[in-house]
Amino acid sequence: MVLSFLLFLGACLPQQTLTPPGVESLAPIYTLRLEGPLQESWASILRRAEEEATLARAEVFVLELDTPGGEIELMKRLGQRLDLIGKEMETVCLVRHQALSAGSYLAMACDQIMMRPGASIGAAMPIQVGPGGIMPELDDDVQEKMNSAFRAEFRSWAELHGRDTRIAEAFVDNGIELKRVSLRGERQVVSGQEFQDLLRKGESPKFLETICASGELLTLTTEQALEFGYCDSVAEDLASVLSILALSDRPLHRVQANWSESLVQFIGSWSWLLMLASAFFVVLAFNMPGLGAPELAAAITMGIFLFHGYLVGLAEWTEVLLVVGGLLLLAVEVFVMPGTIFSGAIGGVMLLAGLLLAMQDFVFPEGTIQEGAFRDNLLTLLGVFLVAPCLAVFTVRKLVKTRVGSFLTTSPSDDFGGPIPSEASNSGTQLAELVGKEGICRTSLRPAGTVLLQGEPFDAVSTGDFLESGSPVCVVGKKGPSLLVQAK
């Protein structure tokens, strides 16, 4: 809670404002510079920029962009955020060096596109990347399905802002051929198929040049973008943009990343490590009773994971409540009503659902892009819950062999450590004959562990109470291969 409060304070820190004297009454211009591959922190910065600019009644938002692209789902979230900003004020994108791949999508989401001399825009063919950066082999039908969805995304932005949809589709699909022709004295851009259709109709289009050959992705220079309507003006820098817009006299507010957003940037795409660490500490806590350190570490890492999701626009209170509720039900299953299964099953489903939803901005996937993201998130989640128990048990088994660790941990043979070693067998004694016998807990029972009866260790399960090591117990029955005991 303290960490979340500090991060919230960081998000509220004032940002740099460049306000010349005497212009306070004019509507401010908000500007944000984003450079490098798409990052999760950009979603948080853009959301805060929208809130601040709307509150300040800004009329223009300038995005200075220089990116080679990035992850598809993140691209869509950033584009949607720019569209929301565009509903409140005019949006202008200044392409400083490149707006390639997903970067061209963000530029097209703005009302105006301006480019520096020597800049470039385009080359946005979608590439499916699986967990660990592995690029899976996709058959032609799946690739075409993905390309079709991507073409529709780019075409919609082009239609919204009155740009040539053929150019937008050629950014995405290397199967599209574009030609420039002269038809009835007017220069036009047509696709290869449209050119053939004109010839079949008896038209006489005069071929001028090939803009993009089949098999190539379209990338436009500043001059080409200006010619084809994908650059509204050429601007050297932000001052030039304001001069072109006749807004040089307006107060300028630069939105900059605060330290909580820098934390999001630091975490980046490795947020799954926080989830792995939290699961690891939860499992570890079962073997280190009474310390509180593993529980605290689990709470902190899970809190950072969920807060990271909130900042990038993925996790809301729904996800938080699902995760917390799931953990509480799992605790009830382990400590209050062991063996009932019902609360544990419901808790497990709630926990998995909350974590999965905190990794994506949709509930049920729609389309190829979301289906791929859902599959990757599900595989990541399952991998975490398979690896975390193994790491925790391995750690406990190593730790218990040390002098300090033997006092901090219970025997790894109970709960998660597998069968009891040979010396802990019943030595031929029938379990049923031990009913009514008294002994002590060899390890803590939560509710499973081991007890000592007549000097011999036995697997045991308590009737529900949490029993510390050394507590006197009485055998009241048997449960499978284990004794059922209760506090004496």
For the chain, the domains span 12-160+216-257, 262-407, 422-487
Q: Are 424 and 413 in contact (CB under 8 A)?
A: yes
Residue 414 is predicted with a pLDDT of 43
For the cut 50, the answer to whether the pLDDT of residue 51 exceeds it is yes
Beta partners for 453?
Answer: 456
Q: Percentage of residues in the chain with pLDDT exceeding 70?
A: 80
Architecture of domain 422-487: Beta Barrel (2.40)
Angle (CA) 28-30-36 rounded to 5° is 165
Q: Please state which CATH number belongs to domain 12-160+216-257.
A: 3.90.226.10
Per CATH, 12-160+216-257 and 422-487 having the same topology is answered: no
Q: How confident is the model over 40-62, as a mean pLDDT?
A: 92
- Among candidates 482, 338, 480, which has minimal Cα distance to 420? 482
For the cut 50, the answer to whether the pLDDT of residue 18 exceeds it is no
pLDDT tens digit string along 411-466? Answer: 444 444 444 443 444 443 577 788 888 999 888 887 777 888 888 888 888 887 77
Query: In this predicted model, which residue has the larger pLDDT, 93 or 215?
Result: 93
Assign 400 a pLDDT band (cuts: 50, 70, 90). low
Q: How confident is the model over 297-319, as a mean pLDDT?
A: 81
Query: In this predicted model, which residue has the larger pLDDT, 52 or 5?
Result: 52
pLDDT tens digit string along 253-301? Answer: 999 888 777 777 777 667 788 888 888 888 777 666 555 678 788 888 8
Q: Are 438 and 473 in contact (CB under 8 A)?
A: yes
Q: Is the pTM of this model over 0.85?
A: no
Query: In this predicted model, which residue has the larger pLDDT, 358 or 242?
Result: 242
Structure tokens at 278: 């939290």
Q: What value does the mean pLDDT of the chain take?
A: 81
Cα separation of 115 and 409, whole Å? 62
Neighbours of 56 (CB within 10 A): 16
